[in-house]
Structure 1
Amino acid sequence: MRILIISCLFILFQANLAAQNKAYTEVLLLMGSRFEITAVSANENKAREAIQKGINEIKRIEKLISSWDENSQTSAIRKSAGIRPVKVDQELFNLIRRSKKISDLTHGAFDISYASMDKIWKFDGSMKEMPDSAAVAASVSKINYKNIILNAENTTVYLKNKGMKIGFGAIGKGYAANKALGIMSKLGLDGALVNASGDLISWGKDEGGKSWKIGISNPKQKDQIFSWLNIDETAIVTSGNYEKFVTINGERFSHIIDPRTGYPVKGLSSVSIICPNAELADALATSVFVLGKEAGLKLINNLKGIECILVTDDQKMMTSDNLKLEYHNKK
């Protein structure tokens, strides 16, 4: 009886703690994207302080990897392409090294030297006809991750050919989300979540003391939840081609371009990657889009601890082999 009473008191105590917790969220523009940063705590000051430290970390990373900041190390690498190696911080060096490993894994479907591509595809409504095939070929001629030469001893980065550039648009937000959440998780919170325009990573529990739960929209009725996914201390990154595209002669072309060919990819309209690391999930979401549904699913099924949800152009949903979704029929 004594054990039962103690157990009941413990449950009541835990329930009371959960009831006191509250989720505090700030929404702002960082890295050119919409970020939502959430902290769960019974102490509002602690939550607000954690959010601000997360924001400061994202700003720090933006300054480090920014390609539009002429004073950034990334810009220095571009300016010295074909001329000389550039010494960089160990953090940036490691990010570039990891990016090259993902390029190897995906056979070039992911490539941070995609930034070398000339902007011949325009998705602002001004493009009315297909670009010349020679122009497309020329636009990707400088893209090749193998020409990013790294020297680990000197922490230098050298772009082998003049005109080469690197950019972190397909991995940077995931990396920033990782780093921000890593800092917030050490500040005495009960839970935290960073959502960088679809690059989402969670830690701890939500304000009710439960695992974070994300709704997956029905591919045929996007205003309805098709299934639920628990992301307890997990990242989920979603990329879609439904917001930026161009229509030429009745044919739709997405803004996601295969860096190996220079042409927009086809076959998928949405890719969601689920794994513990937002940086990796970010890069793999782009990679699977480029690889297509068959090769993309094969890649994910061969990677331990990583799952995916794909929606094809004809709005069919496909998932990796080991993904467990909580299906329901509620509207």
Structure 2
Amino acid sequence: MDTIIHIKAVSSISTEAVNASIDRAFAAFRYVEETCSRFDSNSELRRLSLKPGVSQPISPLLFEALRFARQLAEITGGIFDPTVGQLLERKGFARHYLTGFPPAPVPTIPPTPVSYQDIVIDEYEQTVTLIKPLLLDLGAVAKGLAVDLATRELEKYDGYLIDAGGDIFAGGRNERDEPWQIGIQHPLQTDQNICVLRISDMAVCTSGSYERRSPLDGATHHLLNPYTEKSSGELISCTVVAPFTMLADGLSTAVFLLEQRHGLEMLESMNFEGLTVSSTLDLTMTTQMKRYVYE
């Protein structure tokens, strides 16, 4: 998933048992990547794009990820869109982080406009039909989903923390029997925090423009508006706090793309909290976000 994953557990049981749980938690990340990676020619997600116009049964994991991504696309009017795979590849985001090579091209995908509305999901049959030739991308939800799966292996402990490069779930309490302290990275001074949160049994996810840049121009970042096909410059980062990680992961991307005012208004309407950092380093929060800020 092109990031370093840290897992910590607080428990009085044997180290051997805790390590076994952590190993199973790490396995969840491998499983999600094997299923949902756009960069792997053999992934289930990539293979789904090979048969447009055909109703295809898919695994429960991929089904849930796609269903959630499509619902979030509807909520945001298509600003968040899981059909941006082709657009991302055209902008230079096409190489696997491990091999450095692009996956095998998906054939018969002409450069025609596509959107989330070209994904038809059958809840009863648990099938997906892609109306047009397109390439799916679940980069905004898959890592969060992996964190949520990993929590199942750790929720029996007094406390645990899963940190997957900006996608975090803090369960229970830390080794001092206090809420976990989560630093939100300063977008420009990456060795510093712009603020610190105190969290327990919640997810914290940050989307930012400062981590991934296109190798084609060095300026375009990976959070692309599907309507303009451009990167937004209004925000540098967005952080969302939510009950589970896939939700916080997807919402942080959606708020970033909706930009500050509309994005925070959406969070408020959904009773979730978050904060944004503008290009001028102004920090803006939802009404109740301050209850999480450690001062």
Q: Same fold (TM over 0.5)?
A: yes
Per-residue deviation, residues 170-219 of structure 1 (Å, max 9, x unmatched):
11000100110122213xx2211111110000111111221111134567
| Paired position in structure 1 for 2:266 | 299
Structure-to-structure mapping, 1:103-252, within 5 angstroms: 103-117=73-87, 119-122=89-92, 141-162=112-133, 164-186=134-156, 189-217=157-185, 223-245=191-213, 252=219
Contact 2:22–2:153, Cα closer than 8 Å, also in 1: no
| Paired position in structure 1 for 2:252 | 285
Contact 1:88–1:157, Cα closer than 8 Å, also in 2: yes
SS in 2 for 1:282: helix
How big is the alpha-carbon RMSD for the aligned residues of Structure 1 and Structure 2?
A: 2.6
Contact 2:197–2:294, Cα closer than 8 Å, also in 1: no
Q: CA deviation at 1:312?
A: 0.1
Aligned equivalents of 1:222, 1:156: Cα separation in 2: 43
Q: 1:60 aligns with which of 15, 18, 31?
A: 31
TM-score, length of structure 2 as denominator length: 0.85
Q: Tell me: CA distance 1:78–1:193, structure 2 relative to 1, closer, same or farther (3 Å).
A: same
Q: CA deviation at 1:57?
A: 1.9
Aligned equivalents of 2:50, 2:181: Cα separation in 1: 44
Q: CA deviation at 1:221?
A: 6.0
More divergent stretch after superposition (215-224 vs 265-274): 215-224
Gaps of 5+ in 1: 1-30, 125-137
Aligned equivalents of 1:161, 1:60: Cα separation in 2: 28
Q: Tell me: CA distance 1:326–1:73, structure 2 relative to 1, closer, same or farther (3 Å).
A: closer
Amino acid at match of 2:34: K
Q: CA deviation at 1:291?
A: 0.7
| Paired position in structure 2 for 1:308 | 274
Question: Is the aligned partner of 1:89 residue 2:55?
Answer: no
SS in 2 for 1:96: helix
Q: CA deviation at 1:229?
A: 1.3
| Paired position in structure 2 for 1:77 | 48
Contact 1:211–1:232, Cα closer than 8 Å, also in 2: yes
Q: Tell me: CA distance 1:120–1:234, structure 2 relative to 1, closer, same or farther (3 Å).
A: same
Q: CA deviation at 1:73?
A: 2.4
Contact 2:114–2:132, Cα closer than 8 Å, also in 1: no
Amino acid at match of 2:283: M
- The share of aligned pairs that are identical, in percent, is 27
Larger Rg: 1
Gaps of 5+ in 2: 95-108
Contact 1:117–1:140, Cα closer than 8 Å, also in 2: no
Aligned equivalents of 2:265, 2:224: Cα separation in 1: 21
Aligned equivalents of 2:142, 2:177: Cα separation in 1: 30
SS in 2 for 1:33: coil
Per-residue deviation, residues 242-269 of structure 1 (Å, max 9, x unmatched):
23346999x9543321112211112000
Per-residue deviation, residues 115-139 of structure 1 (Å, max 9, x unmatched):
1326332489xxxxxxxxxxxxx99
Contact 2:187–2:236, Cα closer than 8 Å, also in 1: no
Q: Tell me: CA distance 1:228–1:68, structure 2 relative to 1, closer, same or farther (3 Å).
A: closer
| Paired position in structure 2 for 1:321 | 287
Contact 2:69–2:138, Cα closer than 8 Å, also in 1: no
TM-score, length of structure 1 as denominator length: 0.77
SS in 2 for 1:260: coil
More divergent stretch after superposition (195-204 vs 138-147): 138-147
